[in-house]
Amino acid sequence: MNKIFLSLLTLLCVTFSSEAQKHRLKFKNFKAISAWFGHPDDGRKIISGHRGTHIAGYPENAIEGFEYVLNHTPAFFEIDPRLTKDSVIVLLHDATLDRTTNGTGKLADYTWEEVKKLRLKDAEGNLTPYRIPTLQEAMDWAKGRTVLNLDKKDVPMQMITEIIRKNKADTYMMVTVHTAEQALFYYHDNPKRMMSAFVKTEEAMKEYEAAGVPWKNMIAYIGSENKPENKKMYDLLHARGIRCMISAAPVYDKLKDPQARAEAYRSIFSAGADILESDLPVEVAEAIRR
């Protein structure tokens, strides 16, 4: 009986360990992370948590929200770095504290010592026990677990490159760029860096190509609407080996009916998107599983 019990226990441990590993993204080097985010012809559907997630019980831009998502599905996370009064980089989408915390006024008027006393609100406006994390804390947590995509807020790009370099974090960090000029800055700083690039038009695509930033360094964000006109960009970018991302956050995440949201998520992938960014990444995972 003891041998049978130990065998079952070993099997359970292996099963749970394997399940946990499925929900992690870990890359050894640039070649590995570039390959995973590239090759759109393999049919994989990738989920990005917009500001992590934003649901009842879990605030946006919170490490606890990231953990909740990874307990349900593999994902990477778009997050928002901003500066406190004393130049500590923290995660906060708005320039002000009112919507997402129990603080008021501009983040830039508060020191980190003051900010860390505040508490975050969830999607329903309820106060949670969670606080605003620093970018360094988020990076420490993310290593070996997932990839963080830094949106462009008020932190100078030079500060972003410095913290990534200090942590040797290019295997688990990505930077959002809105223009070819921004992409070129990050590429010159380190040619082994992934970027989430705004490529909404053929003209923008040609600007990136003229700048000389390789497509292997990028995924392409093409907008927040699932519309027939997207097909042209899907075809152009897929031909160059680039995955295309749609954000459901401004439109489809706001649909009141869960079934309507699920249908919208599936439709976005069916239309040609490879990556879906959402406030509700766990719902997206459930929708595409079905």
pLDDT over threshold 90, residue 2? no
Contact 254, 226 (CB under 8 A): no
With cut-offs at 50, 70 and 90, classify the pLDDT of residue 22. low
With cut-offs at 50, 70 and 90, classify the pLDDT of residue 11. very low
Q: What is the pLDDT of residue 14?
A: 32
Q: What is the pLDDT of residue 3?
A: 42
Q: What is the pLDDT of residue 212?
A: 96
pLDDT over threshold 50, residue 17? no
Alpha-carbon distance of 160 to 135, in angstroms, equals 10
Q: Considering only residues 68 and 3, tell me which one the structure prediction assigns the higher pLDDT.
A: 68
Q: What is the pLDDT of residue 12?
A: 32
Q: What is the pLDDT of residue 13?
A: 36
What SS3 state is found at 91?
strand
User: Domains of the chain by range and CATH?
Assistant: 27-289 (3.20.20.190)
The CA distances from residue 59 to 45, 130, 146, 265, in Å, are 25, 8, 18, 22
Q: What is the pLDDT of residue 55?
A: 96
With pLDDT > 90 as the criterion, what percentage of the chain qualifies? 90
pLDDT tens profile 138-154: 999 999 999 999 999 99
Alpha-carbon distance of 144 to 105, in angstroms, equals 36
Picking from 184, 189, 196, 182, the residue whose alpha carbon sits closest to that of residue 162 is 189
Q: What is the mean pLDDT of residues 85-105?
A: 98
Q: What is the mean pLDDT of residues 29-57?
A: 94
Average pLDDT, the chain: 92
pLDDT tens profile 164-188: 999 999 999 999 999 999 999 999 9
pLDDT over threshold 90, residue 25? yes
pLDDT over threshold 90, residue 115? yes
The CA distances from residue 207 to 85, 151, 272, 276, in Å, are 36, 20, 23, 24
pLDDT tens profile 220-246: 999 999 999 999 999 999 999 999 999
Q: What is the pLDDT of residue 41?
A: 86
Q: pTM for the whole thing?
A: 0.91
